[in-house]
Amino acid sequence: MKHIAMLAGAILFSSSVGAQAQEDVGKNEYVVACAVCHGDSGKGNGPFSRLMNISVPSLTTLSAQNEGNFPFLEVFMTVDGRTQVEGHGAPMPVWGERFSAAAADDFGPYGSELVVRGRILSLVTYLESIQE
């Protein structure tokens, strides 16, 4: 049954309706995982930002900082964080590990990796949509 649900999800995300659904899922991921530091608007002004000893960056200017091109893979890898030497330079949580731990019981090691990548993909797609 889980395989059918994952296949249905893959088909949904490949359609134009799926693109909107993916952005909505990504926005929900953002609100839960990122907004506390980066703020509801993504400008780095979340409620925890004033408690940090480092500056929390705006996530709305990533394209502008990269000659108008959204650095999709770099953002994806930064959010995942599992392949970097230090997770995001250390102050940001490694979301790949957190998402993986949450999915492991339900989907096993291989299925949970699909869930992790899907959650990160949705989040990064949302971040791309809020670029100024």
| 86-99 pLDDT, tens digit each | 544 556 777 788 77
d(CA 44, CA 64): 16
pLDDT number for residue 20: 60
The pLDDT of residue 100 is: 79
> Any idea where the domains of the chain sit in the sequence?
22-129
Q: How far is CA 45 from CA 39, 42, 82, 103, in A?
A: 5, 7, 26, 30
pLDDT computed for residue 21 by the predictor: 62
Q: CA-CA distances (angstroms) from residue 109 to 2, 43, 69, 103, 113?
A: 14, 35, 34, 9, 6
Q: What is the pLDDT of residue 24?
A: 86
Mean of pLDDT values over 48-62: 92
**pTM of the entire predicted model:** 0.76
Res 10: pLDDT: 55
